[in-house]
A and B are shown apart, each in its own frame.
Chain A
Amino acid sequence: SQTIHQWPATLVQPVGSPLSLECTVEGTSNPNLYWYRQAAGRGLQLLFYSVGIGQISSEVPQNLSASRPQDRQFILSSKKLLLSDSGFYLCAWSVRGGSETQYFGPGTRLLVL
């Protein structure tokens, strides 16, 4: 069966520090991968999606970036965090060419102080 992992589970970082959040998927090949952010009262915001290694589409201009160095690994990064980057970050995968049913990871709670 397929599983999706995210780490860390929680993170407290000072403003201006770098960020690296990792997501890995097991039990499937060639998935579509997604990064979402939930901020208080703002619902679910799609940040990035990827249909293959090295292929990243950005949905919202910001100081975050994403990379997909391997087929089942998706990394969210920042060089300098802002207060507004605080939120709950969710990684998800879907079957490429399918109905786009999204399978979510457990999330990372990020607090920028």
Chain B
Amino acid sequence: AQSVTQLDSQVPVFEEAPVELRCNYSSSVSVYLFWYVQYPNQGLQLLLKYLSGSTLVKGINGFEAEFNKSQTSFHLRKPSVHISDTAEYFCAAHSGGYQKVTFGTGTKLQVIP
């Protein structure tokens, strides 16, 4: 069975500072990895995904994530955050052969002016 862990429930960061949101997964088979963002009272939007190939994945809004197989991690990074990045971020994983996706418990990013 696969699982996704987001250890940080909340991350406060000052505007224009860099941020890293951590995500670790466990899976005995190859895995697809995703980051979603949720703004208040809205559904989730796809930020980026790793399916295969280059381990550094670039997404929307200046975010990127790096797939690290040896550390089973898929951390999300942004070099300089904006107020508009304040939202909740979810990491997710899908292993081939399963219909469902496993989500982490989410990390609330609060950008401080």
**Would A101 and B34 be within 8 Å (CB), given that A43-B105, A106-B42, A107-B42 are in contact?**
yes
Interface size class of B (residues with CB under 8 A): 20 to 34
Smallest CB separation, B42 vs chain A (Å): 6
Q: Which of B34, B44, B90 has the most CB of A within 10 A?
A: B44
Inter-chain contact A99/B43, CB cutoff 8 Å: no
Inter-chain contact A100/B101, CB cutoff 8 Å: yes
Given the complex, which residues of A lie within 8 Å of B105, measured CB to CB? Answer: 42-44
Given the complex, which residues of A lie within 8 Å of B51, measured CB to CB? Answer: 99
Given the complex, which residues of B lie within 8 Å of A106, measured CB to CB? Answer: 42-43
**Would A43 and B41 be within 8 Å (CB), given that A99-B94, A100-B94, A103-B46 are in contact?**
no
**Within the complex, which residue of A49, A88, A102, A105 is in contact with B92, where a contact is CB–CB below 8 Å?**
A102
Residue of B nearest to A106 (CB): B43
Is residue A34 within 8 Å, beta carbon to beta carbon, of the partner chain?
A: yes
Is residue B99 within 8 Å, beta carbon to beta carbon, of the partner chain?
A: yes
Inter-chain contact A51/B99, CB cutoff 8 Å: yes
Inter-chain contact B46/A44, CB cutoff 8 Å: no
| Interface residue total, chain A, C-beta cutoff 8 A | 24
Q: How far is the CA of A32 from the CA of B94 in the complex (A)?
A: 14
**Within the complex, which residue of A44, A99, A104, A109 is in contact with B45, where a contact is CB–CB below 8 Å?**
A104
Residue of A nearest to B9 (CB): A41
Inter-chain contact A104/B99, CB cutoff 8 Å: no
Given the complex, which residues of A lie within 8 Å of B32, measured CB to CB? Answer: 99-100
Smallest CB separation, A93 vs chain B (Å): 11
**Within the complex, which residue of A32, A43, A103 is in contact with B99, where a contact is CB–CB below 8 Å?**
A32
Given the complex, which residues of A lie within 8 Å of B94, measured CB to CB? Answer: 99-100
Inter-chain contact B49/A99, CB cutoff 8 Å: yes
Inter-chain contact B99/A100, CB cutoff 8 Å: yes
List the interface of chain A (C-beta within 8 A of B). 32, 34, 42-44, 46, 49, 51, 57, 59, 88, 90, 92, 94, 99-107, 109
9 nearest CB pairs, A to B:
A104-B43, A43-B105, A100-B94, A44-B103, A104-B44, A99-B32, A106-B43, A107-B43, A100-B101
